[in-house]
Amino acid sequence: MEIIKNEKTAEIVGLCFGDGSLTRRHSGKNKRKLRFQMRGHIIEDREHYDNYIKPLFDEVIGRIPTTTYRGKKPYYGISSENNVVCNYLVSLGIPVGIKRKLNVPTWILENKDFINGFLRGFFDTDGCIFFQKSYNTKNSLHRLAKIIFGSIPSELINDIHSLLKKSGIKSIIKNPLLRKEKNWKTLHILRIESNKDVERWFDLIGSNNPKHITKFNVWKQFGFCPPHTSIEQRRKMLNKEINPTLFYNKKEFAGVAEPGQMRKVEVANQKPYPLVGARVRITSPAL
Domains parsed from the chain with CATH numbers:
7-97 (3.10.28.10)
Using alpha carbons, select from 253, 272, 204, 224 the residue that is nearest to residue 44.
Answer: 272
Selected residue with higher pLDDT from 281 and 138: 138
The residue ranking higher by pLDDT, 211 or 277, is 211
At residue 76, what is the residue type? Y
Residue 8 reports pLDDT greater than 90? yes
The pLDDT of residue 183 is 63
Q: How confident is the model at residue 250 (pLDDT cuts 50, 70, 90)?
A: low
d(CA 54, CA 65): 8
Helix, strand, coil fractions of the chain, as percent rounded to 5: 35, 20, 45
Distance CA 153, CA 155 (A): 5
Q: Is the full-model pTM beyond 0.85? A: no
User: Any idea what DSSP says for residue 142?
Assistant: E
Query: pLDDT higher for 274 or 166?
Result: 166
* E strands, 73-164, in order: 75-80, 127-133, 142-151
Query: How far, in whole angstroms, is CA 182 from its chain's centroid?
Result: 23
CA dihedral 95, 100, 106, 110 (to 10 degrees): 110
